[in-house]
Amino acid sequence: METVVVGISGGVDSSVAAYLLKKQGFNVIGLFMRNWDASINNDTLGNPTLNNDICPQEQDYNDALKVCQKLDIPLKRVDFIKEYWDYVFTYFLDELKKGRTPNPDIMCNKYIKFDMFAKEAKKLGADYIATGHFARMQDGKLLRGIDDNKDQTYFLSQTSKKQLENVLFPIGDYKKEEVRKIASELGLITANKKDSTGICFIGERNFSKFLENYIPNQPGDIVNIDNNQVIGKHIGLMHYTIGQRRGLDIGGYSNRMFVVGKNIASNILYVALGEDNPYLYSDYCILEDMNWISDKRPHNCTAKFRYRQKDNEVKIEILDDNMVKVIYKNPVKAVTPGQACVLYDNEECLGGGIIKEVYKNNEKCWYL
């Protein structure tokens, strides 16, 4: 009997993934990852303060334990707190300091779930590892999950072809409602559990207050780029991303003004009036840290510049092993430095890179 080690998160997706694998005849072992020390919160000065309430991560572990008991599979636990800090959270902070908008979930998959986790699974005798991602593997190709609304190949775009060998995605052929139905019929405690949101493994928090523990706020001017007038104050550039509307302290404008750029040197946040303002759109971008999962290098394909975005028709020019130019067929809104651009050939995820620079009319956007 082949052994598969499943990443059990305490959520419904990984719970059903474990059930489906056991049903298929695998020897299933659950492995719960603790990647953030949620029992300690830092105050605004960076000093540790204990939180005596049960933290969400411990609740997730308790739920995972109950699921595994119900399914009659063992559950192991492993700590990757240092590794998460070194490879994911430090990257996250460094990108914010540069004025970019990073995606820590993508780096967590690259460095933790499909690297550290896989190594730990091998110690447990794993022939395969599995997760509750909505994705599919077929003939060595990474394919979108059947559920378009939940497809998570975007977050897998920095994993290597080697990392995806011997990986199973049991729920990739299911719709989300089908997954919840299976969990409900099994009587799993996670059946109706809310999907996790927030930063990967850190969870839901007051984001602004949380970041103050690590990066001091530096308030500055909000400038209307259409007339170069100062119209308000921002609390710190790290708290804003391109295309953002909410959270702007602009009297009388908050429902109609959108973030269009940042000037790090001058600590200025640029905004513009209207959701279709030309300053929100660009023509092409340059990707760095390009990671190819597929052997294909098509000149024409589609791209997503953020999760759940509709596919955009693009042409790609390979600049070198690390960098790719992505030219849009039609102007695209709010393409943001630091975010991932993920390329597709129909159902296949080709890979992705991190957006380095964004251009319109051959001029760099966002004033970074």
Catalytic residues: 108, 200
List C-alpha distances in Å: 367 to 100, 327, 357: 12, 20, 10
Q: State which amino acid sits at residue 162.
A: K
CB 251 within 8 A of CB 233: no
Distance CA 84, CA 112 (A): 7
Distances (CA, A) of 145 to 111, 153, 279: 22, 7, 34
3-state SS, the chain, equals: CCEEEEECCCCHHHHHHHHHHHHCCCEEEEEEEECCCCCEEECCCCCEEECCCCCHHHHHHHHHHHHHHHHCCCEEEEECHHHHHHHHHHHHHHHHHCCCCCCHHHHHHHHHHHHHHHHHHHHCCCCEEECCCCEEEECCEEEECCCCCCCCHHHHCCCCCCCCCCEECCCCCCCHHHHHHHHHHHCCCCCCCCCCCCECCCECCCHHHHHHCCCCCCCEEEEECCCCEEEEEECCHHHCCCCCCCCCCCCCCCCCEEEEEEECCCCEEEEEECCCCHHHEEEEEEEEEEEECCCCCCCEEEEECCCCCCCEEEEEEECCCCCEEEEEEEEEECCCCCCEEEEEECCEEEEEEEEEEEEECCEECCCC
